[in-house]
Amino acid sequence: MATDATERSEDVPWPQQILDSIWLLALAAILYWVLAYVVWGIVDILAVPMG
Amino acid sequence: MFGFSTHEYDDEGFRTCNVTGLTIHRSAEDMVKLYGLTAIVALAIGGVFAFFVAMTRWELVSLLSPADFYTYLSMHAWNLLIFWMIFMEIAILYVGGAFVLGRRLSLPRLAKVGWVVMATGAVVVNAAIWTTEAPNQAPLLTSYVPLPSNWQFYAGAIVFILGAVVAALPFFATIWHERRENPNETLPLVTFGAFITGIVALESLVGGLITYVPTLLWRVGEFSTMDPAFYRQMYWIIGHGSQQINLLAMITVWYFLTHVLGGAEVASQKVSRTAFVLYLFFINLGAAHHLMSDPVVSTGWRMWNTSYAAYGAVLASMIHAFAIPAGLEAGRRAKGKGGGLFGWLWSSPWDDPGFSATIMSIILFGFLGGITGVMMGQMQLNMTWHNTLATVGHFHATVVTGTTLAFMGLAYYVLRLVFGRDWAMKPFAKIQPYLYAGAMSLLVLMMMYVGILFGVPRRHPSVMDIPGTEFSFAPAKPFFVVFGVAALLAILGGALFVLIAVASLLTGDRFDADSVGDVTRAAADGGDAKPIHEYSMRGTFTLCLVFLATFVVLWGLNWYLLSTVWQIGP
């Protein structure tokens, strides 16, 4: 079974392997969203001096 | 479920759909019925309030007092923008997952629990809005702190969001089991699109919990203050993210219905999937365009999230805008149904409301909602649109002429393929999408026109008389006549849809697949051996050129309008 999977991964073009790695894509996208929108935004809010 | 279905299942609970060929399990089918019907109930409630809202903004009628207007507007918005959409989207996840994969729905009990929790949240939110009394404010969608809303509203919103998360889990579990059992197989494109929709939805819903949980604690007195800047930034994750779920679900429906009803093929799997991945990474960052004028977040944050990153999502939209009609054109040409430049389009089943609703959704979303969305998302042009009725025109273009039309198209086929009932009042069913789309388009154009050219504000019961201002909006008055008539026709079109759906369930004949005019259009088997991308797509290319030309003209026009209002110096 493992051999089949190895052979198959050698046959399949790498862009298709990326598109088939749905959980990995989801994880990467969530991480990017957290950093770009949430974390950076909170850093900006915290950087505002207290009134 | 509900006793409306005409289908019979084998001993294991499966049946084969004789139109699409899909193997469907009862566990998924029952949940699609439950969530789909609940969505239509929310549509009916929101539609009733649409009448009051529109007839108040049309000052010739002035139906509601200013004190009542915001309450009715909030009921309209929550039932249509949230409850109609998200109940339908959960149904779409189950169609895209269990239906398309031919599997049982994993964790079916959780799907039922999710529905109960969502429905409870929806009822609580409606009750909280309806019973709002000063000093509480009817929350509409933004409910910005420190303006207070009922604590029951925040609690209801949290319960609804939690319910949606629970309802999404069976979909993810179904995908998980599919991948575990078939690790070397590629998911079908519709399932892939539904999965991306699910992840974008998850981000949005988590954003909702980050926003509403501390706000509820503030409202019940556990926190002495609630930072408005934190609220604004976090709120828009769900405030705009919930609409991105609509976008992705709608595009998934476009791929599904053009395939099932028009015989479309996928012109390029890798191009369409790459576009979905671009959405996955970038679409939710577009929420930042609501904070374009916010003094708290840095210019770098605003520009990154609305320009450099979000244009990845715009690119994805452009790809889908080409890929879906191209797939339809190529698929129909492969089946010998397309001659000349647009023969593939003219020969399509335009008397089929599922098909006509889908195609008008694609066209109207692109021309009215998509172009204006990209313009509004730009920092400079945003200044002329922000908080005018044009913004309301934009999101009615995306959510109503786009998503709602697509979901209506899907619902027509849910009635046939899931409930097994043929459409009642067929002549009316054939014209309903045209009536609804035409009237809504006119309504949307009027909103944009009076917003951009006259600066008529949004969220205000009157137009000509705004206390505290010296502006005169009187020249916009004639356009509100068109607005009012178009609103009445659009509400009539929406009511007709609900009536047809209910009549079909109660009195519709058993749906017989043979009664479909052209059975081969549902087979979508790829035609002959010639690769699909070798068929001509020149009709689609021409349409795309028209779209791009319109985009350029509107872009230039909006910059010209901006230049006329932004004068510096004497």
Q: Can you give the pLDDT at residue B275?
A: 96
User: Given this model, what pLDDT does residue B528 score?
Assistant: 52
- Say how far apart CA B204 and CA B249 lie, in whole Å: 14
Cβ A4–B184 below 8 Å, yes or no? yes
| Alpha-carbon dihedral angle through residues B21, B25, B29, B32, given to the nearest 10 degrees | -90
Inter-chain touch B203–A33, beta carbons under 8 Å: yes
Set of chain B residues whose Cβ sits within 8 Å of the Cβ of A45: 227, 229-230, 233, 296-297
Output the 3-class SS for B460-494: CCCCCCCCCCCCCCHHHHHHHHHHHHHHHHHHHHH
- The residue whose two tokens read 């609305």 is B306
Of the candidates A8, A20, A36, which has its C-beta nearest B285's C-beta? A36
- Reading the block at residue B342, the tokens are 């647009």
Nearest to B285 among A22, A33, A47 (CB): A33
* Bridge partner list, B416: none
State residue B297's pLDDT score. Answer: 92
ipTM value for the complex: 0.89
Q: Which of B269, B226, B255, B238 is nearest to B324 (CA)?
A: B255
Task: Please tell me the predicted confidence (pLDDT) of residue B553.
Answer: 97
Test A29 with B298 for CB contact under 8 angstroms: no
pLDDT tens across A5-34, in order? 555 556 888 988 999 999 999 999 999 999
Tokens at residue A35, please? Answer: 């950093």
The residue assigned the tokens 């996928």 is B266
CA nearest B174: which of B98, B252, B100? B98
Burial class (CB in 10 A: 0-12, 13-18, 19+), B68: middle
Say which amino acid occupies B424: A
Q: Which residue of A has its CA nearest to B187?
A: A20
Distance from CA of B174 to the nearest CA of A (A): 13
From chain B, the residues in CB contact with A47 under 8 A are: 298
- Residue B229 has its nearest CB partner, among A19, A36, A45, at A45
Q: How far is C-alpha B229 from the geometric centre of its chain's CA atoms?
A: 28
Query: How many CB atoms lie under 10 A from the CB of residue B182?
Result: 11
User: What are the tokens at B172?
Assistant: 């993810």
Q: Provide residues of B within 8 Å CB-CB of chain A.
A: 175, 179, 183-184, 186-187, 192, 195, 199, 202-203, 227, 229-230, 233-234, 237, 270, 273-274, 277, 280-281, 284-285, 287-288, 296-298, 301, 304-305, 309
Stated pTM of the model: 0.93
B66 token code pair: 């200013």
Contact A45 B179 (CB under 8 A): no
What would the DSSP string read from start to end of B313-344? HHHHHHHHHHHHHHHHHHHHHHTT---TTTHH
**Average pLDDT, 10 consecutive residues per value, chain B (570 residues):** 76 88 92 95 97 93 91 96 95 94 95 98 97 91 91 97 97 97 92 96 94 96 93 94 92 91 86 96 91 89 84 91 93 87 92 95 95 87 89 95 96 91 94 98 96 88 76 86 96 97 93 53 49 87 96 95 74
Tokens found for residue B413: 């086929």
pLDDT of B529? 60
